[in-house]
Amino acid sequence: MRKRFTLQEYKEGVLSGDRTKLSQAITLAESSLESDFALASDLVQEVLSYTGKSIRIGITGVPGVGKSTFIETFGQLLLDSGKSVAVLAVDPSSQKSKGSILGDKTRMEKLAGDKRAFIRPSPTGSTLGGVSSKTREAMLLCEAAGFDVILVETVGVGQSETAVKSMVDFFLLLMLAGAGDELQGIKKGIMEMADGVVIHKADGDNQTSAKKAKSSYENALHLFPLGENNWSTPVMTASSLNGVGLMEIWEMILDFESKMLRSGFWESNRAEQRLNWLDENLQFLLSKFFLEHQQVQKMLTQNRSRVENGELSPLALARDLISTFFHSNQKL
């Protein structure tokens, strides 16, 4: 059975940078127990004024693009620059990619062995909605523990990218040269979400094709509209194998940070993300109460496929479900 601590114990542990207590606090935040939720929520509130000082970087790319190797090498470089680094993963890796059943820690041995780094293996068996909101909490807890850079890793094939994009300052997309078949794996829409694109594994025989891919993507992205931050997405090449191009990526991110701080986008983006997080939480909790309602559940199970095949109007079912929900709730 898992041991709980008091709010004060968690808070002091996290703020002092105690890795074990930080881990335990994240576990608390990831718990689905009602009582843990209350405590975790109080803890986040308690440490809130100590958060927000890190650079939050989302990293995505299909399995095989070398995310773990990249994070291992990139993280090392950050440590060497005097930054402390926390790595969080959004997707349950055991479900999504092969060979990582032992957890993320075994994929990033050097980083995991370094005391200035903190790697949080991905939670398994959780739903996306749950995991994504918990990742935000984990991120804030890591910030309160004093980490300078938070890397949030996600696999670019599911729905988690939008969630990660909505909680980071910078969203990095790793790609492979060749721009052919391997593209099929990336989900449509992710290219336009990226703040930076890296053609990874640009080493050995790949160097020429990586350079070619870089220039193709530069031309392509040039044709696409800029976001409201007015940032034109750079395309770079990098090799984690021999460490080439990684410092340039870090400099690019620092350039982004300084431009966005100057324009005010950095803070306005974070403010918007906080409000989105509020909305997400409200929707999540409302849906939760709604879907746990027995009559609602029954009615939905019986009629969902009738909506799906066009027999029953979504409007009609929605109206019935809502009135069932509020009617019986009011009777309580």
Binding site for a copy of itself (CB under 8 A): 37-38, 40-42, 44-45, 48-49, 51-52, 137, 179, 183-193, 216-217, 219-221, 223-228, 270-271, 274-275, 277-278, 281-283, 285-287, 289-290, 304, 307-319, 321-322, 326, 329-330, 332
Shortest distance, position 311 Cβ to a copy of itself, whole Å: 7
Residue type, 325: F
* CB closer to a copy of itself out of 69 and 216: 216
Nearer to a copy of itself, 38 or 101 (CB): 38
> Among 150, 155, 47, which residue's Cα sits nearest to residue 98?
155
What are the residues whose beta carbons fall under 8 Å from the beta carbon of 207, sequence distance 6 or more?
A: 237
Q: Which is nearer to a copy of itself, 80 or 308 (CB)?
A: 308
In the complex with a copy of itself, the residue whose CB is nearer, 47 or 57, is 47
- Shortest reach from residue 116's CB to a copy of itself, in Å: 26
State how far the alpha carbon of 113 is from the alpha carbons of 76, 82, 110, in Å.
11, 16, 5
CA angle 238, 173, 124 (to 5 degrees): 115
* Least spacing, CB of residue 203 vs a copy of itself, in Å: 22
Q: Tokens in use for 3?
A: 């041991």
Complete DSSP assignment for 129-145: HHHHHHHHHHHHHHHHT
| Start-to-end C-alpha separation, the chain | 35
Q: Specify the long-range contacts of residues 3-12, CB closer than 8 Å, at least 24 apart.
A: 4/28, 4/36, 4/39, 7/39, 7/42, 7/43, 7/46, 10/39, 10/43, 11/43, 11/46, 11/47
In the complex with a copy of itself, the residue whose CB is nearer, 77 or 299, is 299
What's the min distance (Å) between Cβ of 282 and a copy of itself?
5
Q: For residue 244, which amino acid is it?
A: V
Q: What single-letter DSSP state applies at residue 200? A: E
Q: Which is nearer to a copy of itself, 112 or 177 (CB)?
A: 177
Q: Are 45 and 150 in contact (CB under 8 A)?
A: no
Residue 91: CA count within 13 A, CB half-sphere: 25
Q: How far is the CB of 293 from a copy of itself (least distance, A)?
A: 11
Shortest distance in whole angstroms from residue 312 CB to a copy of itself: 7
Name the minimum Å distance from CB 200 to a copy of itself: 16
CB of 169 to a copy of itself, least distance (A): 14
CB of 145 to a copy of itself, least distance (A): 17
Nearer to a copy of itself, 95 or 313 (CB): 313
Q: Between residues 34 and 205, which has the closer beta carbon with respect to a copy of itself?
A: 34
Helix (H) or strand (E) holding 254: helix 246-263
Q: Which is nearer to a copy of itself, 102 or 316 (CB)?
A: 316
How many angstroms separate the CA atoms of 206 and 239, rounded?
A: 10
Q: 38 CB contacts (<8 Å, ≥6 apart)?
A: none
